[in-house]
Amino acid sequence: MGLKFIALVFVVVFAYFNGLNYAEKAPKFSFIQEATSAPEVSFYDYIIIGGGTAGCPLAATLSTGESNVLVLERGGSPYTNTTKVRMKNFISTLTDNSPDSFSQAFVSEDGVPNNRARVLGGGTVINVGFYGRAEPSFLKQAGVDEAVAKDSYAWVEKKLVHKPVAFEWQSAVRSGLLEVGVLPDNGFTYAHINGTKTSGTIFDRNGNRHTAADLLQYANPNRIKVYLHAVVHKITFRTKDGCRPKAEGVIFYDANGRKHTAYLKNESNSRASEIVLSAGAIGSPQLLMLSGIGPAARLRSLGIKVVLDQPMVGRDMADNPLYGLIISYPNSIPLSLATVAGIVDKIYIETVNGYDFSSLSLGSGAPANSTTNLGFILGKFKGPTSEGYLELKSTNVSDNPNVRFNYYHAADDLRNCVRGMKTVIDVVNSESLSRYRFRNTTTRDLLKMMVDLPVNLRPRHANATTSLEQYCIDTVMTFWHYHGGCRIGKVVDRDYKVIGVDSLRVIDASTFAFSPGTNPQASIMMLGRSIGLRILRSRRRWSN
């Protein structure tokens, strides 16, 4: 008995100090500082705007060369309050809209609420944590070598990704997917393949979230500087008659409103020095336009000097619409975030449970931290085909731009939603989930509950509980997987260089034609690492 007790104490103490070790990572990153400590003028080989899902792995990689790297992040650090990034606080952190929160809310022109990350680590700090690699077609579209991608995924996984514990709700839904024919059973895998699988998670066994910011452990601390609460207002260019504009620096402001300018170094190999936009699918096209690259007429109407007339900046914006059902179950079971996925061609199904999902609704008075006996079986589909646009609302970078995703504008998207909803309904009605259902609750009741929730600002129609097409349109929510605005082949080339200017790239989801896998975070981090390696190779060639 004594040995068992000592072993139990050891496990408890280990788990406790494991949490402390996670919380104490920030002091080890001596290169992460508040922007108030930045000099008025500074010079770097690489300036990365946005320390998010792509920016952190990119910066860590570039710093291992012979170059000095600056990262400018408009938000704070996820390490300052690690309770906010624990699994149990997922919804409260996502829905926190206080001035210094990790999440900035916006409502698209479609009437659908959404969120932008504003924190070191980007979307990996506020998402559901699901980790899975992309389908092979994405690598071809992104122009990334398969072997480099494989190594880059593994580089990310070593620091962030965990095999999830067997959560009760996730296991039940997994059995339900198999029962209704989402086959084969693929077990545990990161691969994006048809069937049912358990994938990775960025939450460890203690419920601690591991984010893209953790990838800065790979950085050379002597070659990198990260400034927090550094709000970039514009990129500056050197322009001469008859010559292509060349990015030369950025203007940013700290939390006290003090102006700073960071320039690219003017060295013999200065053509290898670059500014990289990694501000996300909303921030990158917005900053390009604020810096004078975009539709000329719109920029002039806002008093912005045109550097390059580029009408495709802000075009081809897309977001994967979310569909699904909330199920009330009778007994309390541990909460969980997505670790199980069902993949049938273009249809992807995931699930979460134990949270008060009404906190995601508009105008909900529910406490965001509360937990309930609710499960959410939700899905998205590959694509989407529907696309919209992003336009500047003002010249204030802190203002959200106007964004329209045109959900279900394409008939094929609506058909895929209906197919996905039929699979969700089949899983809900499966024998595997029968013990998690109130037997007197019908499918129609569940559909009506979703229709009655104020999940968006769109009108409701009387036939939304009898027509799955109308249900999809009326209850559409975001999957937070928006992309586009700086598409490859239209705004950037295959090396992610902005077409028509020098010394400027965009590396993030704004370059994507579709959102990879069931969750894009793995592939966005992989992209940051892969293109970082490509830039290092190119710089070495130039130096030699």
Tell me what pLDDT residue 37 has. 98
Q: What angle do CA 191, 193, 198 make, to 5 degrees?
A: 60
Tell me what pLDDT residue 5 has. 39
Q: What is the three-class DSSP state of 228? A: strand
Tokens (6 digits) for 96: 């926190």
pLDDT tens for residues 482-519?
Answer: 999 999 999 999 999 999 999 999 999 999 999 999 99
For 377-520, where are the alpha helices, taking DSSP H only?
A: 411-428, 443-452, 468-474
- Let me know how long the chain is: 544
pLDDT tens for residues 22-37?
Answer: 444 443 699 999 999 9
Active-site residue, selected from the candidate residues 210, 229, 260, 481: 481
Average pLDDT over residues 88-96: 94
Tell me what pLDDT residue 369 has. 63
pTM (global) more than 0.85: yes
Q: Is 221 annotated as a binding residue?
A: no
Tell me what pLDDT residue 19 has. 46
Given a cut of 60, is residue 7 above it in pLDDT?
no
Residue 452: count other Cβ atoms within 10 Å of its Cβ: 13
Q: Is 481 annotated as a binding residue?
A: yes
Mean pLDDT score of the chain: 92
Average pLDDT over residues 167-184: 98
Name the strands in the sheet holding 246-253, side by side, starting at the edge strand that comes first in the sequence. Answer: 41-44, 259-264, 246-253, 231-238
pLDDT tens for residues 39-48?
Answer: 999 999 999 9
CA distance 317 to 482: 7
Q: Is 169 annotated as a binding residue?
A: no
Average pLDDT over residues 369-386: 91
Tell me what pLDDT residue 272 has. 79
Contact 491, 312 (CB under 8 A): yes
Contact 85, 211 (CB under 8 A): yes
CA distance 205 to 476: 33
Q: pLDDT-based confidence at 457, cuts 50/70/90?
A: very high
Q: Is 99 annotated as a binding residue?
A: no
pLDDT tens for residues 40-75?
Answer: 999 999 999 999 999 999 999 999 999 999 999 999
Q: Is 520 annotated as a binding residue?
A: yes
Q: What angle do CA 270, 274, 276 make, to 5 degrees?
A: 175
Given a cut of 50, is residue 108 above it in pLDDT?
yes
Q: Is 461 annotated as a binding residue?
A: no
Given a cut of 80, is residue 208 above it in pLDDT?
yes
The lowest-confidence range among 13-17, 148-152, 288-292, 395-399 is: 13-17
Q: pLDDT-based confidence at 4, cuts 50/70/90?
A: very low
Q: pLDDT-based confidence at 13, cuts 50/70/90?
A: very low
Catalytic status, residue 192? no
Tell me what pLDDT residue 9 has. 39
HEC profile of 113-143: EEEEECECCHHHHCCCCEECCCCHHHHHHHC
Given a cut of 60, is residue 473 above it in pLDDT?
yes
Q: pLDDT-based confidence at 97, cuts 50/70/90?
A: confident
